[in-house]
Chains A and B, each alone.
Chain A
Amino acid sequence: MSEPAATLFLLGASHRTAPMELRERLALTADKIESFHAALGSLQGLREITVLNTCNRVEFYGVADSPDSVARLQETFCAFQGLSSEAFAAICLQAHGRAAIEHLLSVACGIESQMLGETEILGQVKDAYAEAQTRRTTGPVLNRVFQKTFQYAKHVRSHTAINEGQISIANVAVDLAMKIFGDLSSTRILLLGAGDIGEKTAKAFQSRGAASLTVASRTFVRAMELATTFNGTALPWEHVTEKLGDYSVIVGSTAAPDIVVSTADVVAAMKKRRADPLFFIDLALPRDIDSAVAKLENVFLYNLDDLAKIAEQNLAARTAHVALARQIVGEKSEAIWKQIESQAGGVFPSRHIETAAQKKI
């Protein structure tokens, strides 16, 4: 029996297969994307296509008349990016039929992400699909595949703990603040020091709704600069101790060799706060906050090691759910594939083709 030639395919490369230097060369930057789509338009045998282009992957999901059309797409892409076909073949992901769907669903669930279980990727996949729709490069097959993928990605995330608990230090700190204060929109945050890690934490707070950020640094100009980027305010360093009680979350990230906030300072601040808790996040090494403040009532202190330990535990918990997530992904991919097969009326091959590169998935 002769096998129908049309194929649903995946072609691309990701952080799993390609080092950063190569991914940089493969990335379809904003200035390239239009001309690349123009090149795709002239490709024979390409029925449908969606381009997923993120910092960690460039992947093409499409429907082609034959495997030859997929090979032509690969040649076009390599030529466009100035990469030899041999070099691309060594790092490329390629899958067909059900395996392509399984990969897309795994990506959308965050299983394939560098930061396991992260949720941003689902939005990126949705954006890629929306762009393909705008460009009118999707058809009945990709429409069904992507729409079902979004539905099942949500199912996987809600039926496993693949995306539960934060795994970055900054987000762990924000989660803890939310356990203490709930909504962060009215919570005042003071950043001690204007270093990188403090800045990342401030960004994480702002992305989760914190509206009031104040920066205090020994160099007032630096504090002003950082505060401006967050739409916040700067506090002169010499006023930190007297104003401590006005803030609910205090993030220490200075390069000071000694303690910046002593227990006596916190005792005085708590007299001002009465019933309101005070949360210290000490990201500095050597530490900025006297560890004895943790013993005070209504005062909570987490240092860098504490946050790292929580992030590790959360990652371990996510990893423990990968097997279950993969099992669900397998079942759901099979379901989508069956729908596609019945919809296509046997146009697609019933088995998927595995290449040497595809085994890397």
Chain B
Amino acid sequence: MLAGYHMPDLTDRNWLWFATAFYLAGFVLGALALLRERRQSQAVIYALVLAGFVIQSIGLYERGLAVKGCPLGNTFEIFQFTAWSAISLYLVVGPTFRLSLLGFFTSLMSAVLTSVSLAIPAWDATRRIGAFGGNSWIEFHAALALFSYGVFALLALTAVMYLLQVFSLKKQHLRGLFAFLPSIRDLDHINLRLLLAGVMILTASIAVGSVYWLQDLDKVNVAKVVTTLAVWATYAVALGLRLKTLLVSKRFAWTCILLFAAALLSLKPVNSSRQPLPAMPPASVQR
């Protein structure tokens, strides 16, 4: 039966719109529960996010087939891949850490990242075929780097949750959304773990990339390398300061949020600095 089954004729963007709808549904469901001051069904939100993730994976797979490689060739693909990375991490750490509202915030962030990327056609106007020149190591480097951005995205979310909880306790606003936030200590612990994981993954990505760069220094784009190393260095410094307890509490949370904003902004120069490669027309890809 399964052998005879074939996927519906949907474009990659169609799949990605469907995935966005699921993420949005998770957010709306969570928001409704919060408005009614009821505890959210984490299982339902997890199921919606999981369904969105599966559909998004299909969309990105379709796009990968079309561009003959990991779909990281333009801003649209980078936003989609970052959201996908954050979701995949949530699906793993969510049940482990059992942080209430993490599913709600993750679905919100993914809905925003994916819908914004879909809503701005200019971000997907040019598709780069074989953006990594068929070099699987450099493709692995790029995928790892983007995955670390997904980790940092999740870190930014938990940092926001930390700040909300501090605000709630300091200002004594304890009802509504604030009633369901995880404890400050739990959020602080997960922030540190996510930062550690993100820095390790980004370090691995840079290590993989450096092997390729050292082999062919002429192909190295200085602007890209400097930007990437700057992002890595700032996160590494933040981690060092946190481990030495010189950067703690609200300042640490704000640092995580601002660093993620800076990391997202850095994607533009990194992306535009790539050498020109054969481009593909903007029409959506069909199977």
B-contacting residues of A (Cβ < 8 Å)?
A: 161, 164-165, 176, 178-182, 274-277, 294, 297-298, 300, 302, 306, 309-310, 313, 317
Contact = CB atoms under 8 A, between A and B. Distances in A.
A164 B170 CA distance: 21
B183 A297 contact: no
13 contacts: A178-B183, A179-B169, A179-B174, A274-B248, A275-B242, A275-B249, A276-B185, A277-B185, A294-B170, A297-B249, A309-B172, A310-B172, A313-B174
B170 to A, nearest CB: 7
A113 to B, nearest CB: 21
B182 A182 contact: yes
A176 B169 contact: yes
Nearest to A178: B183
A300 B249 CA distance: 13
B169 A180 contact: yes
B172 A306 contact: yes
Contact of A181 (B38, B175, B183, B248): B183
Nearest to A294: B170
B169 A275 contact: no
Q: Taking each of B165, B186, B249, which has the highest tally of chain A beta carbons within 10 Å of its own beta carbon?
A: B249
Nearest to A279: B169
A258 B174 CA distance: 30
A350 B259 CA distance: 70
Given A165-B179, A182-B182, A182-B185, 14 more contacts: A176-B174, A179-B168, A179-B181, A180-B169, A180-B184, A180-B185, A182-B186, A275-B188, A275-B245, A275-B249, A276-B185, A277-B249, A298-B248, A300-B169
Interface in B140-187: 165, 168-170, 172, 174-175, 179, 181-186
Nearest to B36: A161
Q: Taking each of A180, A302, A313, which has the highest tally of chain B beta carbons within 10 Å of its own beta carbon?
A: A180
A114 B172 CA distance: 27
A179 B37 contact: no
B169 A297 contact: no
Nearest to A274: B245
Contact of B248 (A275, A302, A309): A275
Nearest to A310: B174
Contacts of B183: 178-182
